[in-house]
Amino acid sequence: MDGMFDQRRYLIPFRSSLLPQIFTDTLVIGAGVAGLRAAIAAAAHGECIVLSKGDLKTTNTSWAQGGVAAVTDPADTTESHIKDTIVAGAGLCDAPAVRTVVEQGPARVREIIEWGMRPDRDPAGKIALGREGGHNAHRIIHANGDATGAELQRCLVEKVRGIPAVRIFEKCFALDLITPSEEPGAPVMGAITHHPKYGLQMIWAKATILASGGAGVLYRETTNPPIATADGLAMAYRAGATLADMAFVQFHPTTLYLAGASRSLITEAIRGAGAHLLDNSGHRFMVDVHPLAELAPRDIVSHAIVRQIAKQGGAHVWLDCRHIASFGTRFPGIAALLKRFDLDPALDLIPVHPAAHYMVGGVRTDASTRSDVPGLYVVGEAAATGLHGANRLASNSLLEGLVFGEIAGRVCAEMKQPAGGTNGGKPAGWGGAGRAAPVPVVSDIRPSDRGELDLNDVRSSLRSSMWRNVGMERTGAKLEGVIDMIDFWARYTLDKIFDDPNGWETQNMLLCGAIIAKSALWRTESRGCHFRTDFPEPREDFRVHDLWRRGRVAPLSAPTE
């Protein structure tokens, strides 16, 4: 990266000694499945604060319709789940990360059921197992049909609220991670935050766990809630952490496509229950594309839909659910959504179109969730653990959050040990035991006198440009063009000092949009959910993770394991 994108270490000027100070052992940024599970584990060895950017019902987890993939049926095998994950990952999965999640997943699922999560069950009382794209077995656990994420969130929130060592700060925006200096490798010591009631605060922590979710709002068409503005990825990058595999953005094949309506996810479980994709003539086109038809991996289904739309000159394809018995009982949330638009799945075809769904890339971590910055651990959608490779297998994300969340919360206890521990002991400058004051941190940013752009215009233009040029089908010329556009907007936006989340979010979106586009331009091949029409085939020399770090003008690369 270069230019405006590497000049700014912090988003705002501040002097840490002049702001309110809060101290904790572990700070968790993000209150979805990964963050809450991390907090539960971290509370076993100290105090913990969880930051939720919005309220606890607006996380990506709460919005998740799909289920939790785990081997719980004796007829299924761990090796089968591992194989399905690696096949979907298109050559970029790190095998140790895949094995960790798949092998530890069943225990984490049993645990949340013991804590009170209510999975769907069959008439005999056994947990009902569904099947989704890319899976060769029925291993998907759902709750309330199409509201698994909301039920999982409810269960974890109740569990966390019952732990005295955990405090939850809702509607608290994390601006930046704190480091004692801007030198490479300076340890993370917490975060500077903003609350609408309490203003700016310094939260000092011996360990910081980033679980801030993804970047779906970078795209005009998205299934994500409004909070998914890439904040965690941007603040980690500014703090010196390495981002990896940023070209890989997964697009969900089926969102409700109606003029004037927001894009609402139509869960993959409906295709798992037998729904078909039809073109305008009523032909079931996926049978011509892949042996698994509608249950092929998501990138294959999404690209098939885009090609079909281009071929027929329309705006969408159709999802046929008319033959699915008891649709309203099995998928009550989707049935209620369709009813609002006078659509009856027993009688009507449903117009669908792909939309940005999941950030496969993220902050690079090791097998224990450590980033390459001391004191910073990263989990969930914000992390690039190597589990997903170049394309996420359906319903592996909630499982990943449970497994790596527990690992991060447990492993970060090393930051409370004397210096010389596994990850270097306490961050330098913490000041010793107890509540001793950390070293002062100063951000001295001068306001720019360069002209201003309208923030809402920048944000809207960025999202449209990302959708048109860095979407499912990419070319070198379009990527170069959007990089130039983002650089122009950045010159008039990244140099400004804002005092509200809208401004900070827009700056974070510009930074991460640029990295995604540059990663896609560098990767002159097609692999997983990254497709270049000018380089339509995968290349063996690109079977590596591309790594992006502040202060470098070109990516590093690391082989897959």
Q: Is the pLDDT of residue 8 over 60?
A: yes
Could you give the residue range(s) of every CATH 3.90.700.10 domain in the chain?
250-355
**Packing angle of the helix pair 501-522, 455-469 (nearest 10 deg):** 20
Cα of 237 vs its chain's centroid, Å: 15
Structure tokens at 448: 């720019």
The DSSP output letter for 127 is B
In 10 A of CB 444, how many CB atoms? 8
What's the chain's Rg over C-alpha atoms?
A: 23
The backbone region for 295, taken as left when phi is positive above 0, alpha when psi lies in -120 to 50, beta otherwise, is alpha
For residue 500, the model assigns a pLDDT of 93
Reported confidence tier of residue 427, pLDDT bands at 50, 70, 90: very low
Could you give the residue range(s) of every CATH 1.20.58.100 domain in the chain?
449-559
Identify the residue with better confidence: 446 or 342.
342
Q: Whole-angstrom Cα distance, residue 99 to residue 96?
A: 5
Show Cβ contacts of residue 191 under 8 Å, excluding neighbours closer than 6 positions. 27, 29, 51, 174, 175, 176, 177, 178, 203, 205, 208, 235
3-state secondary structure of 489: helix
Looking at CATH, the fold of the domain delimited by 14-248+360-425 is given as FAD/NAD(P)-binding domain (3.50.50)
pTM, to two decimals = 0.93
For residue 182, the model assigns a pLDDT of 84
For residue 324, the model assigns a pLDDT of 94
Q: Is the pLDDT of residue 3 over 90?
A: no
CATH architecture of the domain formed by 449-559:
Up-down Bundle (1.20)
Quote the strand ranges of 100-153, DSSP E. 129-130, 140-141
Mean pLDDT for 312-321 is 91
Reported confidence tier of residue 431, pLDDT bands at 50, 70, 90: very low
Catalytic residues, which ones? 298
Least confidently predicted of 212-216, 348-352, 436-440: 436-440
Could you give the residue range(s) of every CATH 3.50.50.60 domain in the chain?
14-248+360-425
Reported confidence tier of residue 553, pLDDT bands at 50, 70, 90: low
Strand order in the sheet with 556-559: 383-384, 362-364, 243-244, 544-548, 556-559
In 10 A of CB 218, how many CB atoms? 27
For residue 2, the model assigns a pLDDT of 58
Q: Whole-angstrom Cα distance, residue 218 to residue 229?
A: 7
Domain 250-355 is found in CATH 3.10.20.30: no
Helix, strand, coil shares, percent, the chain, to 5: 35, 20, 45
Reported confidence tier of residue 4, pLDDT bands at 50, 70, 90: low
Q: Is the pLDDT of residue 435 over 50?
A: no
Mean pLDDT for 477-490 is 97
**C-alpha closest to that of 168 among 274, 263, 358, 28:** 28
Identify the residue with better confidence: 431 or 45.
45
Q: Is the pLDDT of residue 240 over 90?
A: yes
Q: Write the secondary structure of 341-409 as one string of H (helix), E (strand) and C (coil).
A: CCCCCCCCCEEEEEEEEEECCEEECCCCCECCCCCEEECHHHEECCCCCCCCCCCHHHHHHHHHHHHHH
Structure tokens at 91: 């050559």
Mean pLDDT of the chain: 91
Question: Quick check: 464 and 220 in contact, CB under 8 A?
Answer: yes
Strands 190-195 and 173-177: antiparallel
Mean pLDDT for 29-40 is 97
The proportion of the chain whose per-residue pLDDT surpasses 70, expressed as a percent, equals 94
Question: Quick check: 263 and 257 in contact, CB under 8 A?
Answer: yes
